[in-house]
Chain A
Amino acid sequence: MRTLVLRAKLILAFTLVIVVVTLCFAGYLLVQQERMASAALVTRATGITGVLARLVAPAVETDNRHEVSNSLAAVYGHADLRYVVVMKASGEVYDRQSVGSLAPGDELHDNSRQERVVQTHGGLLHVLVPIVSKGNQLGTLVAGFSRQSIDDAIRSSQLALLAGALVILLIGVGVAWFMSGNIARPIRAVATRLTRLAQDLVDSARGQESAGVQQASGIEQTRRTMDLVLASAQQIAENSSVVLGNAERTVAGNRDVALRIKELDSHAEKAGEILAAIMQVADRTDLLALNAALEGTKAGEAGRGFTLVAAEMRRLAESVMESVTGIRRLMNDMRAASQVAVQAGQEGIALSEETTRSARDIAQVTQQQRKATEQVGQSMDDMAATVTDAMARTRKTTANAAELAAAALQLGTLVDSGRSTPPPVALVEQSRLPASAVAGGSNR
């Protein structure tokens, strides 16, 4: 019975109902028919017997046995009449008629009744009617009626009822088939739709799971990237602090170099003053030597030696002046170079200060970046936890959808096994995604 489909069950139920109703109706009809037929038989028998008693009363009174026989012959062809006995008051059987063979004892010979009595005995209906003439009971007429007609009528009625019941049963089965079809069809359609919806739900849940896995993977990737960014920011911060220290040392060094160059320039200026004095002395010496040579030349031969000495002195003075000039040129070049160096040092200080500011800004920005990166990492963790929770809920939804699909499939099978809805693909296999695919995003 468990394998019966809903429609068969419906048909069976209809059929059972029809059979029960039909049986009840038929039984009630047969009982009523028997009761009515019995009543009609009693009525008919009492009527016939009463009439016979009145008919035979004159003949019994006159003791005309032939007339009694004629009177009894009048009802002899009655279908149910089996015997008629006319008894005198003395108990003597005055006359009797019977149809067919009767077993001894089937006939009831009772002369003690003074009123009409109906008895059932030996499968026959016995009617005892007193034969009265002019107020005197002459005897008793007993007639026996069989239930053959009733049984025949009941049997024919039973056949007719059976045929009618069969017809009703067939009609009922047909109606039940039609009605069960009308009932099962929408249920099947609903089951099919439910199966399809469940399948869609399962697919959607799996898509959500897949998206969740990808999202979790993306979050994990982003988290790793943020870790790298954080490490880079840390490295940048360390490097920028190193750069800051170097830049500050460079500024101090450049300032020291500028100070030293300034001192050097001051020394060079003093050396230039000394050189100017030497130059002036050499110039005077040159002038004196020139005048001495001139005087020596004027002195003629006597002054020749003096002239030579003066010329030598002048040569020395000129050599000193040339050397001084060369030194002054070198000093000028050196001062120009030191000026350039001072200027370059100033530019270096400015650049170093700019580098210091930039390094400080970089350190500050890197600090902010590190904080922002840590916040992003925290957000990534929160997102990973949310995604993990969402995926757990999605897995539960998938399981529920699979159970719903299975229930829809079972409903479709119950409705009509011959035309069952297509089984949802892989509904049985639950989407059991590896927990590690998701747990990695949050369990950091």
Chain B
Amino acid sequence: MSHSGVPLPESLPEASSPPANPGETVALMLVRVGGRWFAIDARMIEEVAVKGAVTRVPTAARHVLGVAGLRGGVVPVISLQQMIGIAGAATTELATTLPRLVVVRAGDCELALVVDEIRGIIADPPAADAAQASGAERPSFLRQEFEWQGKLVGVLDVAQLAAAAGSSQGGA
């Protein structure tokens, strides 16, 4: 399922993610949301938790499901499905585990992303140019896309995602 560490290409884009040192491999966590696959930089991930009770927040944006108590704090729970507009019923894949919350940190901001399945951590993502022409209008928090085992995987920019979630949240 997971692959052994392979050095990432130099051309792997980076925005707000901490730059990788020369010779350091970039590890990505593969998650599934609905019928789509995303990759999150493992260094940006605080922890993975079970999706427990989520308290809804009035006047919050639609993609903000609410807040959940994690590690003694309150973290907003974000639905990528709502942000990108992924149809939940479109997937034919079945999750082995319960729904998870992937807690990411962008600066001081912590977000809990609701994912249906976590495939694992890979350290050798393929070349990014292999699937550049997948979507016409890509969200700003979607840095690039690559193909992995026949699946199109979009690499999430956590900082941009936090900004987009925050702006949308503020706008809402």
Of the residues A293, A300, A304, A321, contact of B120 by C-beta under 8 Å:
A293
Q: Is B62 an interface residue (CB 8 A)?
A: no
Least CB distance from A371 to B in Å reads: 70
- Contact yes or no, B42 A291, CB < 8 A: no
Distance to closest chain B CB from A309 (angstroms): 12
Q: Which of B76-84, B95-103, B106-114, B151-159 contacts A (4 or more CB under 8 A)?
A: B95-103
A340 is an interface residue with CB less than 8 A from chain B: no
Q: Using Cβ atoms and an 8 Å threshold, which residues of chain A touch B5?
A: 304
Query: Does A321 contact B96, Cβ atoms closer than 8 Å?
Result: yes
For B97, the chain A residues whose CB sits under 8 A away are 283, 286-287, 318, 321
Contact A294 B29 (CB under 8 A): yes
Contact status of A294 and B24, CB under 8 A, knowing A311-B2, A321-B96: no
Q: Which of B2, B29, B123 has the most CB of A within 10 A?
A: B2
A307 interfacial contact with B, CB 8 Å? yes
Q: Which residue of A lies closest to B28 (CB)?
A: A297
Chain B positions 1-56 with a Cβ under 8 Å from a chain A Cβ: 1-2, 5, 24, 27, 29, 42-43, 45, 47-50
Are the CB atoms of A283 and B48 closer together than 8 Å? no
CA distance A287 to B101 in the complex (A): 10
Do residues B50 and A287 form an inter-chain contact, with CB atoms below 8 A?
A: yes
A265 to B120, CA, bound (A): 37
B118 located at the interface, meaning its Cβ lies under 8 Å from any Cβ of chain A in the complex: yes
Chain A residues lying within 8 Å of B48, measured Cβ to Cβ, are 287, 290-291, 294
**Once the chains bind, are A322 and B96 in contact (CB under 8 Å)?**
yes
Would you call A315 an interface residue if the criterion is a C-beta within 8 Å of the partner chain's C-beta atoms?
yes
A314 located at the interface, meaning its Cβ lies under 8 Å from any Cβ of chain B in the complex = yes
A287, B120: Cβ atoms closer than 8 Å:
no
- Residues of the A chain whose Cβ atoms lie less than 8 Å from the Cβ of B61: none
Partner of B50 from the list A283, A300, A314, A321 (CB cut-off 8 Å) is A283
| CA distance in complex: A298, B120 (Å) | 14
- Nearest-neighbor residue (CB-CB) of A286 within chain B: B97
Task: Kindly provide the distance from the CB of B14 to the nearest chain A CB, expressed in whole angstroms.
Answer: 17
The size of the chain A interface, using a CB distance under 8 A, is: 20
B121 close to chain A: CB less than 8 A: yes
A294 touches B45 (CB 8 A): yes
The yes or no answer to A221 lying at the interface (CB within 8 A) is no
**Chain B proximity of A146: nearest CB distance (Å):** 183
A306 to chain B, nearest CB (A): 12
Q: How far is the CA of A325 from the CA of B48 in the complex (A)?
A: 22
Tally of B interface residues using CB under 8 Å: 21
Give the residue name and chain of the B residue nearest to A322 (CB).
Answer: B96
**Set of chain A residues within 8 Å of B98, measured between Cβ atoms:** 283
Contact of A300 among B24, B45, B96 (CB under 8 A): B24
Q: Contact at A294–B120, with CB atoms within 8 Å? A: no
B41's nearest neighbour on chain A, judged by CB, is A297
B96–A294 CB distance below 8 A: no
Contacts of A304 in B (CB 8 A): 5
| Beta-carbon contact of B96 and A311 below 8 Å | no
Binary interface encoding of chain A residues 72-113 relative to chain B, with 1 for a CB under 8 A from any of its CBs, else 0: 000000000000000000000000000000000000000000
In the complex, what's the smallest C-beta–C-beta distance from A382 to chain B, in angstroms?
A: 85
Q: Taking CB as reference atom, which chain A residue is nearest B96?
A: A321
Smallest CB-CB separation from A324: which chain B residue?
B96
Contacts of A307 in B (CB 8 A): 121
Cβ < 8 Å to B, chain A residues 263-318: 283-284, 286-287, 290-291, 293-294, 297-298, 300, 304, 307, 311, 314-315, 318
Q: Which residues of A contact B120 (CB under 8 A)?
A: 290, 293, 311, 314
Q: Is the CB of B42 within 8 A of A297?
A: yes
- The CA-CA distance from A291 to B29 in the complex, in Å, is 11
Name the distance in Å between B1's Cβ and chain A's nearest Cβ: 6
Indicate which residue in A291, A315, A321 contacts B47 across the interface (CB closer than 8 Å). A291
Query: A291 to B48, alpha carbons, bound, how many Å?
Result: 6
Give which listed residue, B29, B100, B123, contacts A287 with CB less than 8 A: B100
User: Given A283-B98, A287-B48, A321-B97, are A298 and B43 also a contact pair (CB < 8 Å)?
Assistant: yes
Is there an interface contact between B47 and A297, defined as CB atoms closer than 8 Å? no
The contact of A315 among B1, B50, B123, by CB within 8 Å, is: B1
Q: Mark A312-351, 1 if CB is under 8 A from B, else 0.
A: 0011001001100100000000000000000000000000
Contact B49 A287 (CB under 8 A): yes
> In whole Å, how far is B113's beta carbon from the nearest beta carbon of chain A?
14
Q: How far is the CA of A318 from the CA of B1 in the complex (A)?
A: 11
Check if B47 sits within 8 Å of A318, measured CB to CB: no
Q: How far is the CA of A300 from the CA of B23 in the complex (A)?
A: 11
Q: How far is the CA of A322 from the CA of B45 in the complex (A)?
A: 26
Q: List 3 A-B pairs, minimum CB-CB distance, nearest first.
A: A297-B27, A297-B42, A290-B48
Binding site for A on B (CB under 8 A): 1-2, 5, 24, 27, 29, 42-43, 45, 47-50, 96-98, 100, 118, 120-121, 123
A interface residues (Cβ-Cβ under 8 A, vs B):
283-284, 286-287, 290-291, 293-294, 297-298, 300, 304, 307, 311, 314-315, 318, 321-322, 325
Known: A283-B50, A287-B49, A298-B42. 20 other contacts (CB 8 A): A284-B50, A286-B97, A287-B50, A287-B100, A290-B120, A291-B48, A293-B2, A293-B120, A294-B29, A294-B48, A297-B27, A297-B42, A297-B43, A307-B121, A311-B1, A311-B120, A311-B121, A318-B96, A321-B96, A321-B97
A-B contact pairs, 23 of them (CB 8 A): A283-B97, A286-B97, A287-B48, A287-B50, A287-B100, A290-B120, A293-B2, A293-B120, A294-B45, A294-B47, A297-B27, A297-B43, A297-B121, A298-B42, A298-B43, A304-B5, A307-B121, A311-B2, A315-B1, A318-B1, A318-B97, A321-B96, A325-B96
